Structure 1
Amino acid sequence: MKTILLVCSAGMSTSLLVTKMEAAAKDAGVECKIFALPFSDAPRVLEEVDCILLGPQVRFQKGAIEKMAAGRKAGAIPVDVIDMRDYGTMNGKAVFDKAMSLLG
C-alpha cells in the first residue's frame, strides 16, 4: 500500500481533494492512504509516506520539502507541485494519476 501526503497551508480545500483522490484510487483498484497536512506538520510524517504533492499555495516550499525528503532514513521521496488547474477544479483523478506517475 502506498501513502500519499498532500502538503497545504491550512487544509480546508485540500481535504476535499483527498476525498476525490480516494475515490479515484478506489475506481482504479489501488489501495493507498492519502492525507493532507500543513507544511509545518509535514516533517513528522516523512518516514511514513511514499510521495508528497504540494498544493499550489505552498509551491514556494518545494525546495525545503525536497531537502527534508532526501534526508529521510528510508530514502528520498518524490516531491512535486499539484497543477493549479487540477487543484482549482478539485480534479482528484488527475492529481491521483500524477501521484501514481511519481511512484512509478
Structure 2
Amino acid sequence: MAEKIIMLACSAGMSTSLLVSKMQAAAKADGVDYEIFAKSASEIPAQLESDKKPDVLLLGPQIRYMFNDVKKRTDAAGIPMDIINMSDYGMMNGENVLQTAEKMLGDK
C-alpha cells in the first residue's frame, strides 16, 4: 500500500496524465511509494470524501481560478493544496512537482 496519496487536478484530468507518469518515475527513482493520480476538477469534491482521499492536492495552473473554492474544501478536509508551478508544469518536470508535494506533506 502506498505511503501517501498525491492527487493532481486539471480541467479534464487529461493534461496532467503525462506529469503523473513523470512524478511516478521520480518517486520510484527516489525509492518512495506514493500513489499519484490525476482527476478532473469536477471530481475534486467526490475525491475528498472518498476512501481514496488524497494526502495532498495539486491544481494545474490552467485552473488556478478555482483556488479559493478548492482551498475551502481542502482546508475543511485537512488536506494541503496548492497550484503546480507553471514552469514545472509546462516542462513536465515530475521531479520538481514531486518535491513540492513532499514539502507540503512534510516528508522532505
Matched, 1:57 2:66: no
Matches for 1:62-77 after TM superposition, within 5 Å: 62-72=67-77, 76-77=78-79
Tell me how far 1:12 sits from its aligned partner: 2.2
Please give the per-residue CA displacement for 1:52-80, whole angstroms capped at 9, x wherever unaligned: 000000011111111111222xxx11111
What's 1:88 paired with?
A: 90
Tell me how far 1:11 sits from its aligned partner: 2.1
Please give the per-residue CA displacement for 1:72-100, whole angstroms capped at 9, x wherever unaligned: 2xxx1111110111000100000000000
Displacement over 4 Å in runs of 4+: none
Matched, 1:35 2:31: no
Q: For this pair of structures, how many residues does the alignment match? A: 101
Deviates more, 1:88-97 or 1:39-48: 39-48
Q: Unmatched 5+ residue regions in structure 2?
A: none
Between the aligned partners of 2:100 and 2:15, the Cα distance in structure 1 is 18
Between the aligned partners of 1:61 and 1:51, the Cα distance in structure 2 is 16
What's 2:21 paired with?
A: 19
- Aligned identity (percent) is 51
What's 2:6 paired with?
A: 4
**Contact 2:61–2:83 (8 Å) recurs in 1:** yes
What TM-score do the two structures reach when normalised by structure 2? 0.90
Q: Unmatched 5+ residue regions in structure 1?
A: none
> Which structure's residues are more often helix, by fraction?
1
